[in-house]
Structure 1
Amino acid sequence: MVILTIPLAVAVTLILTIFLYAFHQTKSMKTPAFINWPFIGMLPQIFWNLSNIHEYSAHFLKSKGCTVEFIGPWFTNMEGVMTSDPINVHHIMSKSFDNFVKGDLFREMFEPFGEGIFTTDSDKWKYNRTLLQFLFKQRSFEAFQEKIIHNKVEKSLIPLLNQVQQQKGSVVDLQDVFNRFTFDNICLIVLGHDPNCLSIDFPEVAAEKAFNQAEESIFYRHTVPVCVWKLQSRLQIGEERKMTEACKTFDQFLFSCIASKREELVKKCNKNEIDAESDETNHVDLLTMLIREEKKNKEKDSDKFLRDAAFNLFVAGRDTLTSALSWLFYLVATHPLVESKILEEIKENFGHKEKPWILSIDEVKKLVYLHGAICEALRLFPPIPFERKEAVTPDILPSGHHVYPKKMILFSLYAMGRDKDIWGEDYSEFKPERWISERGGIVYAPSYKFFSFNAGPRTCLGRDLAFIQVKMIAASVLWNFGVHVVDVNQVTPNLSIVLLMKHGLKVKITKREI
C-alpha cells in the first residue's frame, strides 16, 4: 500500500505544481494564449478567464483563424474543437448534417430537457420537429399568440411600468420584468395557464424559480469534468441536489397542468363544446393542440412526451426572449440616435393612435428599422452564446481540423457576431442600418453567418414568432416610456446556457412625451 501511495502522491503534487505555475503564468499575461500544459491541458487560462469567457473566446478564436483544438486535464476526457468559422458551421449544420448529432453526453448534460426537440437526434427529432411545425402553422395559433401578448402587455406590463414611473427616482430591474413577462406569456401559450409572475409586488413563483435553477445547474455541468457532476448526482450533493429539487418542483407544475388540461378536454367533449377535428378557429394553447393530435393519431396517452415537449417550448420561448428584449433595450437606451429613429418610424406609421396602444402582428411587420435593431441585438448578444455537436464518423472540417466521434464540437455564436471578416470593420457598432437595403427592405444574412436562430435543418421553427413578439413588446414600451440605464458599467453577461445580464438591467422609467 505504501509503495502505491508514494507514486500517487508524487503525481498529484506534480499536477498541482504544474497547475499553479500555469495559473501564475496565465495571470501575468495581458492576453493569455491557449497553451496546452502537461497533464492539465488548457484548464488554467479557461479558469482564469471564466468570468469573461465570451470576450476571451472571441479573442483567441480570431487569433487562431476562427477554429482551435482544446484539451482539458488528462483524466477528464474534455477534448474537442471550438469554432466560429461560418464555413465550418455550414459544413456541420447543413452539408454534412446527418454526420453531426447532439449525442448521448449532450442528452445527459441537458437531462431536464428530456427527449424533446432540442436534445433528440434522428427519427425522434424529426417527429418532434414535424409535429411542432404542423402546430405552429395552424391558422388559429398566430391569432392566439397575438391575443395573449396583447392582453399581457396591456393589462400587466404597461400598468407595472406606469406605476414605476410615477414613483420618482424609482429603479426597476427591467430584465426581471421581462423574465416575469415571458414566463407568464409562455405559460399561457403552451399550457393555457397564467401564473401571474408579472405584478407590481413581484411575487416569488415556485415553478419560475425552479425553472431558473434547472438552467443554472445545467450550465454548472459544463464547467466541471463529467465525472465530478455525475458523482455529485449519485451522492445528491451540491449543485446536483439543487438540480434534482428544481426539476421535481417544475415537473409537478407541468404534470399538474397536463392532468388539468386532460380533465378539461374530457368535460368539453362530453358537453360537445368543441369539435377537435374541424374547429380551426378555436384559439387554443399548444398543450391542448398536442393532446388533440395524440387522440387523433390514437396513440397511447403519454404524459412524459407532453412534459418533455412543454419543457423544450419553455426554453425556446422564455429565456431566449428575455435575453433578446433585455439586450435590445440596453442597446437602444445607450444609443439615443437609434432610439429616435425607432420612435420616428413608429410615429410615421402609427402616430395617429392614442396611447397606450399595442400593435397587431400585421402592423409590426411595417417596422423595418426596429427589425434591424433587433437583429443587431441578437448579433452582438446571441441568446444562446454557445452551440455544441459531435460527429458520428470521423471527418475533416473545411478549416482542416479533424473531428472524431464522442469529441465535442463547440460553436461560439458570440464570437461569430463580433467577427470583422463577417460583419466588416464596424462589427463592434450597434448599427441597425446594416440590416436595411437601399430600397428600405430587410436584409437577410445566411444562417451560417447569423447563427442566432441555428442553421440548416435545425433552424429555429419559432424565428418569425419571436420577431413578432419582440416587436410588439418593444414598440409598446418605447412609445409609452423612456428607459434610462442607471449604471452602464454594471451591465455584463452572466455565465449560463442563456446570455442574460449578470446583475440585471437596472433602469429608471419616465413617461414618454411625443
Structure 2
Amino acid sequence: MAKNLLFSATQWMHIHSSLWDVFLALWGLFVFRCIGERLTNKGPMLWPVLGILPTMFLNINDMYNFVTRALSRAGGTFHHKGVWMGGAYGIATADPSNVAYMLKTNFKNFPKGKYFRDRFRDLLGDGIFNADDELWREQRQVVKAEMHSSRFIEHSLQTMQDLLHQKLLKLTEKLVKSGDSFDLQEMLLRFTFDNICTAAFGVDPGCLALDFPEVPFARAFEKATELTLFRFLIPPFIWKPMKFFGIGYEKALKEAIGIVHDFAEKTVKSRRDEAWRHGSLRHQSDLLSRLIEIEYTGQGKKLQFPDKYFRDLCVNFILAGRDTTSVALAWFFWLVNSNPEVENKILCEINDILSLRDETRTENEIIFTMEELNKMVYLHAALSESLRLYPSVPIEMKEVAEDDVLPDGSIVKKGARVFYCIFAMGRMDSIWGENCLEFKPERWIRDGKFVTENQFKYAVFNAGPRLCLGKKFAYTQMKMVAASVLLRYSVNVVEGHDASPKMTTTLFMKNGLPVTLTPRVVNPNLA
C-alpha cells in the first residue's frame, strides 16, 4: 500500500511538472508572438488586458529614451492603448507635421481634453494651463497684454537682477568658501521659485536665503506636482476611489494642495485688501496687481472676478515659472561642463560685450543690461541647443475632439489621446540630421545671427496659439543667470555623477546636480 502511494505521489509530481513545463512553453510562445507582432508593427508591446502599462513600468527608469527608441523604430508614430477597463487609446508621435497639424492647422480638434484636466484640476483649477476653449482664450488675452507690457518687462528684469546679485551670487560665494559640493539643481529651483513669485505676485517666499531654509509652501508645491503625476500612471478606477476615501498618496496629495492653495489665497486676499485700502494698485508692477488693477477705474469699483480666478492664476504661473527654467539651466551647466569648447566661446562672447562698456567696474558690480543680454547670440544658441536635447517639458498630450486623420496617415478616433514627445523629437536624425545627439550651438547661428527654428519641430515652448507667453521672460532669466555665474565661476560637476532624467512632468535630474565652483579671475579692463 505504502509503495503504491509513493509511486502515485512520484507520478503525480512528474505529471504536474510536465504540465507546468508545457504551460510555461505555451506562455513563452504567446509572449514571443505578442512581442514579434509588436516589433513587426513597429511599436512597443501591447499586453493582453493591460495594454502598454507593463511595458511602461518595465522601462520606468529610462522612459524617455525608451519612447525615443520606439518612435525611431516606428518611423515617428506608433499606436498605444491602456488598461482594458480604463479605455485609454491613441498614438504617440514625434513627427513635426503631426505636431503642426494638432497645434495650429486643426487646433480646435486637439484640446487639452477632459483626461488631462481631470487629473490636474485639483491643483491647477481652471487656470490658463489647464483650460480649453473660451475659458483659455479669455485668460490668455488678458495675461498676454500685461506680460508683454513695457512696465512688466522692466519690473521682471529688475526682480531678476536683485534676486541674482543680492541672494544667488552671495549664496554661491558662501558655498565656494566652504569648499563643499552642493546641488546646483536645488539652488536653481529655489532661485526660479522666488523669482516667479516676486515678479508675478510681488511676494518673496525666501527660498534662497543663505541658510537654505525649508519653505513649507515650496515643498508642498513640489510634492503636489509629483503626486499629481501618479494619476497619469494609475487607472481612474483606482485613483478616484483613493481620492474619495482619502487614502494612500491621494491623501498626501490633498494635504499638499491644501498648503499650496492656502498660500495663493492669502496672497490674493492681501493684494485685494491693499487695493481696497488705496483704491488702486498703480504703485505695484507685479502681474497679479496689474490684473487686479484692470477691475478698477481708480474709484474703487467692486471686483468682478472671484478669488478662485486669481488663486488658480497664481498656482498656474508658479508651475510654469518654477520648474521649467531651473531644470533647463541645470542641464545647460551639465552640458557646458562636458563641452569646454562651448564654455570658452560663451566666455569670449561675454568678455567681448563687456569690453564695449565705457566705465570700469569690479566683478561684483557687473550687472548685465537687457541690451547686453540681447547681444549674447552664442549663449542664446547654447541654451536653445540644451533645451533641444533636454526640453523642460519632455512630453505633451492632446485629446481628439472628433475623428481625424493626421498628415502621416495615422487615424485618430474621438477621445483618443495623442502624446507628442518633445524629448524624442530632439533626438531624431530625420529632423536634426546625423549629428542630432551632439551638443552643437552652432546649428542655431547663421552669419553671426541667431536663427529661429520651425516651432513645430522645436516645440520646447509649445507652438501655435498656445505658444508660451513667458518665452522671452525665460530666455532673459536663463541668460542672466548663465552669464553671471560663468563669468565668475567654473562649474565642475562631481565626477561619476549619473545625470539621468527623473520620471515626472518636468525633466528633473533624478539625483540632482552636485557641483563644485572654481572662482575665475575677472579682468576689470574688460568691464
Say whether the fold is shared (TM-score over 0.5): yes
Distance in 2 of aligned mates of 1:501 and 1:23: 35
Residues 117-174 of structure 1: per-residue CA shift (max 9 Å, x gap): 1111111111011011111122210110011000001110000001111112x01100
Q: Which residue of 2 aligns with 1:499?
A: 507
**Pairwise CA distance, 1:315:** 1.3
1:349 maps onto 2:356 in alignment: no
Q: Is the 8 A contact 2:425 2:457 kept in 1?
A: yes
1:455 maps onto 2:467 in alignment: no
Distance in 2 of aligned mates of 1:22 and 1:158: 56
1:373–1:260 Cα change, 3 Å: same
1:20–1:497 Cα change, 3 Å: farther
1:402 maps onto 2:411 in alignment: yes
Q: Is the 8 A contact 2:46 2:55 kept in 1?
A: no
1:167 maps onto 2:168 in alignment: no
Q: Which residue of 1 aligns with 2:335?
A: 331
Distance in 1 of aligned mates of 2:307 and 2:464: 30
Q: Is the 8 A contact 1:487 1:506 kept in 2?
A: no
Distance in 2 of aligned mates of 1:484 and 1:420: 30
Alignment of 1:49-448 (within 5 A): 49-111=59-121, 112-168=123-179, 170-269=180-279, 282=283, 284-296=285-297, 300-351=304-355, 353-356=361-364, 357-437=366-446, 439-448=447-456
**Pairwise CA distance, 1:405:** 1.9
Distance in 2 of aligned mates of 1:25 and 1:494: 29
| Greater Cα radius of gyration, structure 1 or 2 | 2
Q: Which residue of 2 aligns with 1:7?
A: none
Q: Is the 8 A contact 2:196 2:318 kept in 1?
A: yes
Q: 2:518 aligns with which of 507, 510, 514?
A: 510
Judge which range, 291-300 or 216-225, deviates more: 291-300
Distance in 2 of aligned mates of 1:24 and 1:303: 57
Q: What SS class does the counterpart of residue 129 from structure 2 fall into?
A: coil
Judge which range, 40-49 or 136-145, deviates more: 40-49
Amino acid at match of 2:421: S
Q: Is the 8 A contact 1:140 1:283 kept in 2?
A: no
Identical positions, percent: 37
Q: Is the 8 A contact 1:218 1:497 kept in 2?
A: no
Q: What SS class does the counterpart of residue 490 from structure 1 fall into?
A: coil
Judge which range, 335-344 or 356-365, deviates more: 356-365
Q: What SS class does the counterpart of residue 134 from structure 2 fall into?
A: helix
Amino acid at match of 2:516: K
**Pairwise CA distance, 1:206:** 0.7
**Pairwise CA distance, 1:42:** 2.4
Q: Is the 8 A contact 2:43 2:73 kept in 1?
A: no
Distance in 1 of aligned mates of 2:448 and 2:362: 27
Residues 212-269 of structure 1: per-residue CA shift (max 9 Å, x gap): 0111012111111122111211121122111100110011111111111112222223
Q: Which residue of 2 aligns with 1:9?
A: none
**Pairwise CA distance, 1:23:** 11
Q: What SS class does the counterpart of residue 296 from structure 2 fall into?
A: helix
Q: Is the 8 A contact 1:144 1:283 kept in 2?
A: no
**Pairwise CA distance, 1:39:** 2.1
Q: What SS class does the counterpart of residue 460 from structure 2 fall into?
A: helix
Q: Is the 8 A contact 1:141 1:283 kept in 2?
A: no
**Pairwise CA distance, 1:487:** 3.4
**Pairwise CA distance, 1:33:** 5.8
Residues 424-481 of structure 1: per-residue CA shift (max 9 Å, x gap): 11100111111111x2000110110010011111111111111111101111111011
Q: What SS class does the counterpart of residue 252 from structure 1 fall into?
A: helix
Distance in 2 of aligned mates of 1:23 and 1:331: 40
1:450–1:307 Cα change, 3 Å: same
Amino acid at match of 1:294: E
**Pairwise CA distance, 1:401:** 1.1
1:146–1:34 Cα change, 3 Å: same
Q: What SS class does the counterpart of residue 198 from structure 1 fall into?
A: coil
**Pairwise CA distance, 1:488:** 4.7
Distance in 1 of aligned mates of 2:52 and 2:214: 41
1:145–1:127 Cα change, 3 Å: same
Amino acid at match of 1:304: K
Amino acid at match of 1:291: I
**Pairwise CA distance, 1:21:** 8.1
Distance in 2 of aligned mates of 1:23 and 1:193: 58
Q: Which residue of 2 aligns with 1:40?
A: 50
Distance in 2 of aligned mates of 1:446 and 1:152: 34
Q: What SS class does the counterpart of residue 396 from structure 2 fall into?
A: strand
Distance in 2 of aligned mates of 1:23 and 1:225: 27
Q: What SS class does the counterpart of residue 375 from structure 2 fall into?
A: coil
Unaligned runs of 5+ in 2: 1-22, 523-527
Amino acid at match of 1:115: D
Q: What SS class does the counterpart of residue 94 from structure 1 fall into?
A: helix
Distance in 2 of aligned mates of 1:37 and 1:286: 49
Q: Is the 8 A contact 2:427 2:436 kept in 1?
A: yes
Q: Which residue of 2 aligns with 1:483?
A: 491
Q: Is the 8 A contact 1:435 1:443 kept in 2?
A: yes
1:376–1:42 Cα change, 3 Å: same
1:485–1:404 Cα change, 3 Å: same
Amino acid at match of 2:408: S
Q: What SS class does the counterpart of residue 515 from structure 2 fall into?
A: strand
Distance in 1 of aligned mates of 2:374 and 2:28: 55
Q: CA RMSD in A?
A: 2.3
1:20–1:236 Cα change, 3 Å: farther
**Pairwise CA distance, 1:43:** 2.5
